[in-house]
Structure 1
Amino acid sequence: MTAPSSHPAPLRAALVGYGSAGRIFHAPLLSGVPGLALACIATSKPAQAQADWPGVRTVAAPQQAFDDPAIDLVVIATDNASHHPLARAALLAGKHVVVDKPCTVTLAETDDLLALAQAQGLVLTVFQNRRYDADFLALRQVLDGGQLGRIVHVASHFDRYRPQVLDRWRDRDLPGAGLWVDLGSHLVDQALQLFGCPDELLLDLARQRDGAQTNDFFHAQLRYERTHPGLRVTLHASALAPAPGLRWRVQGTQGAFVKEGLDPQEDALRAGQRPCLDLQGRAPARWGHDPRPGQLVLPAGIPAEQPAPAPPGNYLQYYASLRDHLRDHLRGAGPLAVTPVQVRQVMGLLARGEQSAREGRFVDTSDLAAAA
């Protein structure tokens, strides 16, 4: 009788889509986590995928990957409008599914996928890598330490300077396009992680770039009274910000946390770096270290600045956590980083935001907390 291996066979993943999300984020991260294997890429343009990953099988049609009995996990990294039909087909084929954010383009589509995954006994989750940004991890440490007192206002910015409107689906007037469902998915998820579901939401959308076909600016206001009396959270992003600067400004009754600049991991991945976790789950020595850590401002007569905690970011941890969950899935063990409730809450807030922008008013969001 053969003794069980201390190193179980890797979970085999199929990546559907090899545009910017698949090429920059998912392929390198999947391949950098021990216990996961990037086994297949479904793309209509295989040349680049084959050049980047010469040992990985490419297929033209996603269904070819779904029908492969050796595939355990499917990662959907295609245009947002295709998320629902592709994820549905993968679930029906018996595969666990990761969908790049946003989950779908409507709450009804997300509910359909969550119900199907539950009925099939499978995992359906969303790629929320920004939970592993260095600045977000630092802010969580600060809030957990209580140094700022009661939090009264949070400004969360994700500004970039991309003045050209490109000929791509993200910049067209299509369902699922625009900055709100793109970067808004991350900022909404972070707000939910920090403070839970707001009571009300007001969203302002704009088209600011020359030739813009969809929103490239948003400013959302989240009101909290039920769980955090007096708290106001603003979420802001622009594609036309030559001097982006601010990432976080968190004001409390006893101090503030201020952070400028974005997490460095996206730029590192865009530059072609391929980080790998070692067998102990550690990232490379300097991976994810932010050269511009946040500052604590703690008034003591005269405001005094001091460095805030500066943990490294680690996008690899998203897939490492998913690997651990899937290995234990049949035993019902292993926490899932982005749970079905969280998937639904993010999609619900994105949808309520669109309603608010159409109607020009605060909309109630408190019912989205009921399932938490």
Structure 2
Amino acid sequence: MTTQLQVGLIGYGFAGRTFHAPVITSVPGMNLKTVVERRSEYSKERYPWVNVVKSVDELYADPDIDVVVVTTPSSDHVEFVRDALNAGKHVVVEKPFTATAAEADELIELAKEKNKVLSVFHNRRWDGDFLTIKEILQEGLLGNVMECEMHWDGFSPIVGDNWRDKAGPANGVFYDLGVHLMDQALSLFGTPKTILGDVQIQREGGQSHDYFDVTLGYESNLKVILKSSRFVKSHGPRYVIHGDKGSFIKYGIDPQEVALINGESPATTHHWGQEPQEMWGKLQTTIGKLNVDSVVETIPGAYQDYYQNIYDHIKGNAELEVKPEEARLNIRLIELALQSSKEGRILEVTP
């Protein structure tokens, strides 16, 4: 019989409501026991069994809680992660991990001291298009990759009232969306040798970064380009990868987010994460004497696999997929990209 882990969720805003609660509750080994909501009890509408508390201290004091999930605004991550670890809980924290690498180092050391699991919710490693690209590269279908360009664009020329658009540590599109692309790039290609950043506030009245164009340089002459703009009404490819054997081009975005926003769940939706054929990526390559020009069926995305891994790792049955040291490296590279942008020069990547 499966021994369940008891989960406490801090925050039931967009991230907690959309990405965490429905995914946690789709993993048989995890029970969403408690939600911290200071001014409402919205979580009980969908999860009537949960215990809603008004204070994080009530959550920390519950001896039955095994895992605390932090989904607060980025600027509060350090405080909540620190306090949860000190309370003797395993911790999952929404991305970005922290605002600075030094803060990440502090939390990593504390987790080791307390002998508790600490992981960052880099769910985009379980996007279908990323899983597909990972498989294409592992199979060597593009040969030696020379260039990879990743985009996360949108059209929102007017600054909103969202906390992510306000001034503050770890706010802005580079920390919010860029950290996902950075994590995917490092997962595919490892740590770069150099970094060149162009990070800007382009929208009138903007208080936080809303544009970035960052190039990671590798010793193999590989260039990985990460880009985002809020002024893209007509979308181009999301991924463009070129190697000495061929190219892969992929449009569109993983369907899991829209499904979650619409109230669906991996536990109840048939063919979860499956992408329609018209969105499959295009592969042009050479296999032996054959020139191949075809589409590649997208591997279904699976955000639930992130939390399944958390369960399996805590139970001692699997290696942790998203290690805090990896999330810390993402933050360090964001710091360097911001420095590069400010100084207008290429920087060597340092720990």
**TM-score normalised by the shorter chain: which range applies?**
over 0.9
Correspondence list, 1:292-307, <5 A: 292-298=279-285, 305-307=293-295
Deviations 1:188-213 (A, max 9, x none): 11111101000011111122233322
Matched, 1:236 2:227: yes
The aligned residue for residue 245 of structure 1 is 236
Does residue 7 (structure 1) correspond to residue 2 (structure 2)? The answer is: yes
1:150 to 2:144 alignment: yes
Indicate the RMSD between aligned Cα atoms, in angstroms.
Answer: 1.7
Q: Which amino acid aligns with 1:338?
A: V
Q: How far, CA to CA, are the matches of 2:203 and 2:46 in structure 1?
A: 33
Deviations 1:91-140 (A, max 9, x none): 00000001101111111111000000000100111001000000000001
Deviates more, 1:98-107 or 1:158-167: 158-167
Matched positions, count: 348
Partner secondary structure for residue 241 of structure 2: strand
Deviations along 1:298-320, one digit per CA (max 9) or x if unpaired, are 26999853012421000010000
Alignment of 1:1-372 (within 5 A): 6-8=1-3, 10-225=4-219, 229-276=220-267, 284-291=269-276, 292-298=279-285, 305-328=293-316, 333-365=317-349, 367-368=350-351
Deviations 1:255-300 (A, max 9, x none): 00100011010011011112218xxxxxx54111122111101269
Cα distance in 1 between the residues matched to 2:296 and 2:324: 32
Distance 2:247 2:237 in 1: 14
SS in 2 for 1:84: helix
Tell me if the contact between 2:195 and 2:216 (Cα under 8 Å) persists in the aligned partners. yes
Distance in 2, matches of 1:164 and 1:31, equals 36
Distance 1:161 1:75 in 2: 31
Query: What residue in structure 2 maps to residue 280 of structure 1?
Result: none
Give the letter aligned to residue 248 of structure 1: Y
Percent identity (aligned): 39
For structure 1, the 5+ residue unaligned runs are: 1-5, 278-283
Contact 2:84 2:90 in 1 (8 A): yes
Structure 1 length as normaliser, TM-score? 0.90
Counterpart code for 1:351: E
Match of 1:3 in 2: none
CA apart distance, 1:349: 1.1
Residues 33-42 or 305-314, more deviating? 305-314
Whether the 8 Å contact between 1:169 and 1:177 is mirrored in structure 2 is yes
| Structure-2 separation of matches of 1:304 and 1:261 | 22
Question: 4+ residue stretches of structure 1 with deviation over 3 A?
Answer: 299-304
Counterpart Cα distance in 1 of 2:158 and 2:30 = 37
* Equivalent position of 1:281 in the other structure: none
Deviations 1:44-70 (A, max 9, x none): 232322323222111111121111111
Amino acid across the alignment from 1:44: R
Equivalent residue letter for 1:244: H
CA contact (8 A) 1:148 1:254 kept: yes
Tell me, in whole angstroms, the C-alpha distance in 1 between the residues paired with 2:62 and 2:138.
45
**Whole-Å Cα distance in 1 between the matches of residues 251 and 86 of structure 2?**
44
Q: Matched residues in 1 for 2:50 and 2:230: separation? A: 35
1:76 and 1:83 in contact (8 A); partners too = yes
Asked if the contact 2:108–2:325 (Cα under 8 Å) also holds between the matched residues in 1, the reply is no
